[in-house]
Amino acid sequence: MNPLLNPVVIDQLRAEIFGDIANIQSVIDRDKPPIKYPLTDLGNVERFIQLFPDEVCYIPQENDFSAYDDKKWTRDLQGKRTHELVDKTVRSIYGEAENVPDEHTRKQIAKHALRSEAKNRRDAIVNDLKHRLVKSIDEFDRDPWLFNVQNGTIDLKTGKLQQHNRADCLMKISPVTYYPEAKCPLWTETLNLFFRNSKPIIEYIQKLFGYTLCGIKNERLVVFLYGRGRNGKTTLTSTILKIFGDYGQAADISTFIENKWGGRQAGSASEDLARLRGTRYVRATEIGTKDKLNEKLIKDISGGDIITARFLFSRSFDFQSCFTLWFFGNEKIKVEGQDVGIKDRIKFIPLTFEIPKDQEDPSMRDRLFSEEAPGILNWLVEGCLKWQGEGLMEPAEISQATIEFFEEQDLVGLFLRDCCNIEETNSAKYKNLYHAFIEYSDTSISRYQFSKTLEDKGHKIITASRNQRYVMGLSLKLTNVKDRDENKNTTMFG
């Protein structure tokens, strides 16, 4: 009787298949030493996982493998590293025959190893691994307090350096090596020059960048560096961008401003946002003269909210914002809203110093990084620790500059000041007031936004006879015949 048809053997085989598959061979022939894994495609996959359990993983959201390079996880383009490990796995099968005394079994193993070298067999391993070594993109760069550098990972809660660890699941790294004793005298001198030796402002800048270094977004802020001419904005922001490495991202200003439709089109590709997942520092390109902030997006980003984005030809995905947004420019970005939600977020920092043209040093940016990168990194870590211990402690100059920035942006407030008489007994037709504002401000503010802003400023809007709407507590200043004709009836029932 064929031993494979023996019911006892069949039961044993079934038990082994659903239990420890590695011992099937010993059930068939107990006189022969067991083969560790079966001579099948599945056995090859199991060999791979035993040999390389945490060298690569498959990320469905990217439709690609990621490989660990002893410092960070990196996208395995075209599966290059994965295929290399598959090749090593296949070649290792020959070694399994070395300790097998039975010649027949050795030949079986060698024959299987040779068959496994075929491209279709190796591809079969790769395809199977896509279902067995799965990690979600959400598992990477999750710890907001870890900052990866060339010689380890900094714990930003303590400023201590720890060894690289694949279990940290870090995909990003700074190009800088961390030396806690490194100094940056040229950087310090540059900051003193740009901010006119103002110690409170320089310490505030240090804390802002230190806050940016970590992924915590509890301060709910965006930073705007403003100044005309040669005042160091670009040198400052681009040097920090180099220090951040993978954690930093230059983004086009168009990502954060309103388009002609007022915002983003639902369902459209948003690769500019998708690229920002896991980033800590985002430096927007220079602001244009007519750029108007997308305030809803800014609120979502600065508050660490969930952002929905998608790459072209891909499904949309959600990620939590963990970056601080830095604007800079010679022009002041337009902010239409005057609510607390947006006012509390923007930190307006003017740079009033101008570098004389004959004193410009074109090599300064390169020198700061090449000569003092470790020292500047220490300055950032120190800023992060100071922020945790002391808070930001905004200087009075910055608070006042931010107030003045919003006063300039408050077009409705300026209109009321310049074109209206503010008295409790006054009233004005809403239609006339709105048209006068549009002519005054040369903006395209909606009727709804205009009404809301007036009401936020304490001017009640009511509907009287003949469906006429009136704004209470103010009237237009009569500056010409047209104004007088339009506003001769300033009472509700006149």
- Tell the residue number behind the tokens 């000569």, with chain if given: 371
The span from the first CA to the last CA of the chain, in angstroms, equals: 115
Per-residue pLDDT in tens (0 to 9) along the chain, 494 residues:
444 445 544 455 445 444 444 443 443 343 444 458 999 999 999 999 999 999 999 999 888 999 999 999 999 999 999 999 999 999 999 999 887 888 999 999 999 999 999 999 999 999 999 999 999 999 999 999 999 999 999 999 999 999 999 999 999 999 999 999 999 999 999 999 999 999 999 999 999 999 999 999 999 999 999 988 788 899 999 999 999 999 999 999 988 988 755 555 444 557 888 889 999 999 998 887 778 888 888 988 888 888 888 777 667 778 888 999 999 988 887 787 667 778 889 999 999 888 888 778 888 989 999 999 999 999 999 999 999 999 999 999 999 999 999 888 888 999 999 999 999 999 999 999 999 999 998 877 889 989 988 998 999 999 987 788 999 999 998 754 344 344 444 443 33
Residue 331: what pLDDT? 83
Q: Which residues of the chain form CATH 1.10.10.10?
A: 410-486
Residue 99: what pLDDT? 79
Q: Are 117 and 105 in contact (CB under 8 A)?
A: no
Q: Residues in the chain, how many?
A: 494
CB atoms within 10 A of CB 165: 12
Residue 12: what pLDDT? 53
Residue 3: what pLDDT? 47
List b or e across 219-250, with b for residues whose CB sees 16 or more CB atoms inside 10 angstroms.
bebbbbbbbeebbbbebbbbbbbbbbbbbbbe
Beta 324-329 vs 281-284: how paired, if at all? parallel
d(CA 426, CA 420): 10
Residue type, 391: G
Q: Is 382 exposed, middle or buried (0-12, 13-18, 19+ CB in 10 A)?
A: middle
CB atoms within 10 A of CB 127: 11
* Residue whose C-alpha is closest to residue 125's, from 50, 48, 202: 48
The DSSP 8-state label assigned to residue 134 in this structure reads B
d(CA 139, CA 142): 6
Contact residues for 492 (Cβ-Cβ < 8 A; gap 6+): 427, 462, 464, 465, 468, 470
Q: Where are the beta strands (DSSP E) in 252-343?
A: 281-284, 306-309, 317-320, 324-329
Q: Are 369 and 175 in contact (CB under 8 A)?
A: no
Q: Please, what sign has the CA dihedral across residues 17, 19, 20, 25?
A: negative
Q: What CA–CA distances, in Å, run from 362 to 13, 234, 274, 355?
A: 76, 12, 34, 12
Token pair for residue 459? 């001017």
Q: Are 146 and 155 in contact (CB under 8 A)?
A: yes
What DSSP element (H or E) covers 364?
Answer: helix 364-390
CB atoms within 10 A of CB 19: 10
Q: Which residues of the chain form CATH 3.40.50.300?
A: 185-408
Residue 263: what pLDDT? 52
Token pair for residue 33? 């030493």
- Tell the residue number behind the tokens 């005298």, with chain if given: 185
SS3 199: helix
Q: What CATH number matches the domain at 185-408, 3.30.70.890, 2.60.40.10, 3.40.50.300, 3.30.460.30? A: 3.40.50.300
Token pair for residue 269? 């590709």
Residue 35: what pLDDT? 57
Q: What CA–CA distances, in Å, run from 405 to 16, 286, 402, 460?
A: 75, 18, 5, 26
Q: What CATH number matches the domain at 410-486, 3.40.50.300, 1.10.3720.10, 1.10.580.10, 1.10.10.10? A: 1.10.10.10
d(CA 237, CA 212): 12
What DSSP element (H or E) covers 223?
Answer: strand 222-226
d(CA 8, CA 31): 17
* Residue 81, strand partner residues: none
